[in-house]
Amino acid sequence: MSEEKLRFELSEYKDRLEKARNAMERAGIDLLIVTDPANMGWLTGYDGCSYYVPQCVVVTKDKDPLWFGRRMDANGCRRTAYIAEDRIKWYGDEYVQSDTLHAMSVLGQIITDEGHGSSTIGVEKDSSCFSAASFEVLSASLPNARFQKADRLINWQRLVKSPRELEYMRGAGKIVEAMYQRVTEVLRPGVKQSDVIAELSYVGTRGVEGYWGDYPACVPNLGAGADASAPHLTWTDKLIRADESIFFELAGVHKRYHCPLSRTYYLGKPTQQILDAEKAVLDGMQAGLEKAVAGNACEDIAKAYSGALARYGFEKTSRSGYPIGMGYPPAWGENSASFREGDKTELRPGMAFHFMSGLWYGDWGIEITESIVITEGRPEFLSNVPRRLLVIE
């Protein structure tokens, strides 16, 4: 594939490969099988909605990365990745959803033919795209290999974003701004939840200011009234009601790079309960943001946030943030560091996080979040939507 069609310069992909190989060396891994779609894309540029069948990128210390997947998806590799033709390997359709054949047996033979049948092989055992059957067949086809858990080995290399990655994320931030603008315009009592989601999905796909909208790694989450107590519910055909809160968790997406953002609306006069929660969340976020400084640790943000909440009588038992960047379903989080007590990951310029400050209780909830980038000074906000409870009278 010509370099001008890649989403990043070839030199950036080479730098990423070097980071991966250094991490493999530290972990004592000879060959790494990467099945997380975001990790595959980050390493090679591959971008296909093909992760429902076995596929991977194989990284070794001496040869160029190898792409392995379904035969019909090989052209997708040729169209999106920098992989050379001789490093594109595939299996036939007889291996797809078969009770007697499995694609990982083909990969095992390829690895053996490449001289790694007795190597130490790292696998992403916790990847949602690497099934128990895949590991069983792969390990059976490589009886002399030593398998080692390599969960999040690549994810940790992705923490600090390049200037081009941040450019894409800023574009995603502009898209999510436009999505919330549309929510504000159409959210009224009597409107169906599904109609609101349709409007913001149109804006999210159309994009803004030259940034086109890609599909999100997670569909929009919506919680209205008592459903706001559950953070991961989606929309229905229920009518929007007056005198209740409703939160949205959305993401603008550009070239697979995400900017998630949550906001809570209230249709009518807010209750004292929701106003108290708003003040607690906003003060907590401000306390956390003051700790979002290069050199501090992830846990410093979490402690500052939870400490502020406690002064208002609230408690958040889940983490209050996670890294973001390139993402594929089922989630846009990068699965490495977290804003929670005990995570001493050092904050460095170029790291990007979703400060997930939501609170969920028995029959209500509130979400007001920000996506930020760590800088040499104050954090950069990837979008600009009013950080408060949004009241529609």
Kindly state the tokens that stand for 243.
């005198």
pLDDT tens string 209-255? 899 999 999 999 999 999 999 999 999 999 999 999 999 999 999 99
The CA distance from 2 to 4, in Å, is 6
Nearest Cα neighbor of 59 from 106, 90, 16 is 16
Pairwise CA distance, residues 36 & 107, whole Å:
16
232 exposure class (CB count in 10 Å sphere: 0-12, 13-18, 19+): exposed
What is the four-CA torsion angle of 117, 120, 125, 129, rounded to 10 degrees? Answer: -40
Q: State the CB neighbour count (10 A cutoff) for residue 14.
A: 12
Copy the structure tokens of residue 206. Answer: 């159309």
Residue 365 vs residues 88, 222, 359: alpha-carbon distances, Å:
48, 11, 6
Q: What is the per-residue pLDDT across 195-213, written as a single tens digit (0 to 9) for each?
A: 999 999 999 999 998 999 9
Residues of the chain with CATH 3.40.350.10: 3-157
Alpha helix positions (H), 142-250: 153-157, 163-186, 193-206
Q: How far is Cα 31 from Cα 92, in angstroms, rounded to an integer?
A: 24
pLDDT of 274: 95
pLDDT of residue 14: 97
Mean pLDDT over the full length of the chain: 97
pTM, two decimals, is 0.96
Distance of CA 339 to the CA centre of its chain: 15
Mean pLDDT of 169-177: 98
Give the CATH fold of the 3-157 domain: Creatine Amidinohydrolase; Chain A, domain 1 (3.40.350)
Angle, helices 37-44/10-27, rounded to nearest 10 degrees: 120
CATH number, domain 163-392: 3.90.230.10
- What is the reported pLDDT for 5? 86
Quick one: pLDDT band at residue 261, thresholds 50, 70, 90? very high
Counts of helices then strands in the chain (DSSP H, E):
10, 17
pLDDT in tens, 107-121: 999 999 999 999 999
Q: In angstroms, what CA-CA distances link 169 with 150, 162, 175, 262, 321?
A: 27, 11, 10, 16, 17
The DSSP result for 111-153, as a single string, is: HHHTT-TTSEEEE-TT-TTS-HHHHHHHHHH-TT-EEEE-TTH
Eight-class DSSP state of 349:
T
Average pLDDT over residues 54-67: 97
For residue 337 the two structure tokens come to 């560091």
Residue 292: pLDDT over 70: yes
- Region 19-41 average pLDDT: 98
Phi first, then psi: what are they for 284, rounded to 5°?
A: -65, -40
Residues of the chain with CATH 3.90.230.10: 163-392
Q: If you average pLDDT over residues 77-100, what whole number do you get?
A: 97
- Give CA–CA dist 359/342, Å, rounded: 21
* Token output for 26: 């530290």
Tell me the chain's radius of gyration from C-alpha atoms: 22
Q: Which residues contact 138 (CB under 8 A, 6 or more apart)?
A: 33, 104, 105, 107, 108, 123
- HSE at residue 4, side-chain half, CA atoms within 13 A, is 0
